[in-house]
Structure 1
Amino acid sequence: MGDKPESSTKQPAQTSLHIVYSVTDIQKKVCVLDGIKVTYSAWVKLFQLHARGYEVLYHITAQPPAKDGLAYEQWMKIDGIVLQWNYNTLSEDYLLRVLEAESTALEAWDRVKAIFLNNKGPRCAALQQKFINLILSAPPSLDVYCQTLRDLEAQLNDIGSPINEQILVLQLVHGI
């Protein structure tokens, strides 16, 4: 009978922070996109994997909620973090082409996508020319030569012009 009513012994509900706030250094998880060592398709896969794991994939796949209310404010805070991830994982050249003062993570994501997927024809022609003309004397070693061929293969694959293994081997032998 001397017990306190249950309502007075309950602690106030604590609001927990979204898991996205625990990320301290995105570059330890997602490599910097430079278009050569890290290709667009590899960067997309890593970035999406990371975004999914931290429950923010919708920030690069869906439009924001309506601009009224607490939900939008919360969404904007988290979107700002995802936008920072995007900017922090771009090389300086790409960052300068994508950076805008007022942007959502989705808008920045789409600007990066446009860099790599627009102008496919000229980009494809330039990469194929590099691939065909690469010879062993250009790179400093056989390892670098082979890696350069693989990098060009990955870049061509990114824009929808894959190189099959037979052509890769033929170019390897031809360049030697």
Structure 2
Amino acid sequence: MSDELLSRVLEPDSTAQAAWDRVKNIFLNNKGARAASLESEFHNLKLGKFPSFDAYCQRLRELSGQLKDVGAAITDQRLVLQLVRGLPKEYDTVAAYINQTLPNFETARSMIELENHRQSSREDATALVAPPVPSTES
């Protein structure tokens, strides 16, 4: 608990139950606004804003958990749809397949990781093959 929140809920000669009730009221009073804010962030999440695919997936999971905590639970299907929605165009093929089959989150994540590996392998193989040097002799 932050120092700021702690100072708001602890009072001299107060019981633990009274402190807990104050904590509960603080969070319940902000529940609707917090849900709206989290929902907006969840909806606008894009892979390009993160340093890695793992960080992107972690943030999706965190937001899903936080939304559940404020009474706005995200279904696994919706989590998968948002996972795909935030991908760049390079993933359109695997994204279309995931949208058609709607696997669970972990399966969809694995499919995207495999596609990422495939694309990286292709780029590495292309970089290893040097283009022929044109002859300067006539």
Task: Place the TM-score, normalised by the shorter chain, in its bin.
Answer: 0.5 to 0.7
Query: Aligned residue for 1:153?
Result: 64
1:93 CA drift (Å): 3.9
1:113 CA drift (Å): 1.2
SS in 1 for 2:73: coil
Structure 1 Cα separation of the partners of residues 86 and 44 of structure 2: 8
Query: Aligned residue for 2:55?
Result: 144
**Residue 21 (structure 2) aligned to one of 110, 123, 136:** 110
**Displaced runs of 4+ in structure 1, greater than 4 A?**
none
Any idea what the Cα deviations from partners look like across 1:116-174, whole Å, max 9, x if unmatched? 22232211111100110111122322111111111111111111111000110111111
Query: Aligned residue for 2:11?
Result: 100
SS in 1 for 2:12: coil
Q: Does 1:127 align with 2:38?
A: yes
- Normalised to the residue count of structure 1, the TM-score between the two structures is 0.45
Any idea what the Cα deviations from partners look like across 1:67-101, whole Å, max 9, x if unmatched? xxxxxxxxxxxxxxxxxxxxxxx233432332323
Gaps of at least 5 residues in structure 2 are: 88-138
Name the structure with the higher helix share: 2
Structure 2 Cα separation of the partners of residues 114 and 103 of structure 1: 16
Distance 1:93 1:152, change over 3 A: farther
Query: Aligned residue for 1:169?
Result: 80
Distance 1:96 1:134, change over 3 A: farther
**Residue 2 (structure 2) aligned to one of 91, 94, 97:** 91
Distance 1:138 1:94, change over 3 A: farther
Structure 2 Cα separation of the partners of residues 96 and 141 of structure 1: 38
SS in 2 for 1:137: helix
Structure 2 Cα separation of the partners of residues 155 and 128 of structure 1: 10
Which has the higher relative contact order, 1 or 2, with Cα contacts under 8 A spaced 6 or more apart? 1
- How many pairs were matched up? 87
SS in 1 for 2:49: coil
- Normalised to the residue count of structure 2, the TM-score between the two structures is 0.57
Percent of matched pairs sharing the same residue: 59
After the TM superposition, which residues 44-83 of structure 1 pair with which residues of structure 2 at under 5 Å, given as runs?
none
Structure 1 Cα separation of the partners of residues 25 and 4 of structure 2: 15
